[in-house]
């Protein structure tokens, strides 16, 4: 499991990928990697972008972003995809029923 010391809140990868349309209050939590270490070491953004683009072409995951958002800490058990989908479907059905109950009370 990823700990908070392995991650950093950053907009660096959004900038490198040209995704600058997020609100200023929103940023991602990324696993610290070579790109982030280079950035902290003072490498200019254009050089970072070139290295990142090369990493995309070569599949170099020592430089590509791996997000580890706040929800990653909410994972408490291993489940198969089928189990996860069943759980989501059950939760969704319960929420729809609650909404329907509220609507009938109007």
H or E element at residue 37: helix 34-40
pLDDT recorded at residue 79: 84
What's the whole-number average pLDDT of the chain?
A: 86
How many structural domains are present in the chain? 2
User: Which of 27, 28, 35, 31 lies closest to 55 in space, CA to CA?
Assistant: 35
Regarding whether 65 and 40 lie in a shared domain, the answer is: yes
Strand 28-31 relative to strand 7-10, pairing: antiparallel
Tell me the C-alpha distance between 76 and 83, whole Å: 14
Regarding whether 56 and 25 lie in a shared domain, the answer is: yes
For 69-91, the pLDDT digits (tens) are 655 556 678 888 899 899 999 99
For 89-101, the pLDDT digits (tens) are 999 999 999 999 9
Instruction: Tell me the residue range of the domain where 49 lies.
Output: 1-75
Residue positions counted in the chain: 106
pLDDT recorded at residue 47: 96
Give the tokens for residue 2: 């990823």
* DSSP E strand stretches across the chain: 7-10, 28-31
pLDDT recorded at residue 35: 95
Q: Considering the entire predicted model, what is its pTM?
A: 0.58
Regarding whether 70 and 80 lie in a shared domain, the answer is: no
Regarding whether 68 and 44 lie in a shared domain, the answer is: yes
Regarding whether 82 and 66 lie in a shared domain, the answer is: no
């Amino acid at each position: 499991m990823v700990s908070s010391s392995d991650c950093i809140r950053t907009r660096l990868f959004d900038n490198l990928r040209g995704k600058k349309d997020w609100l200023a209050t929103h940023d991602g939590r990324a696993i610290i990697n070579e790109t982030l270490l280079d950035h902290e070491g003072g490498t200019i953004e254009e050089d970072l972008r070139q290295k990142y683009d090369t990493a995309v072409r070569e599949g170099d995951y020592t430089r590509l972003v791996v997000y580890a958002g706040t929800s990653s800490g909410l994972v408490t058990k291993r489940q198969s995809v089928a189990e996860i989908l069943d759980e989501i479907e059950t939760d969704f059905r319960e929420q729809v029923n609650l909404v329907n109950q509220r609507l009938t009370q109007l």
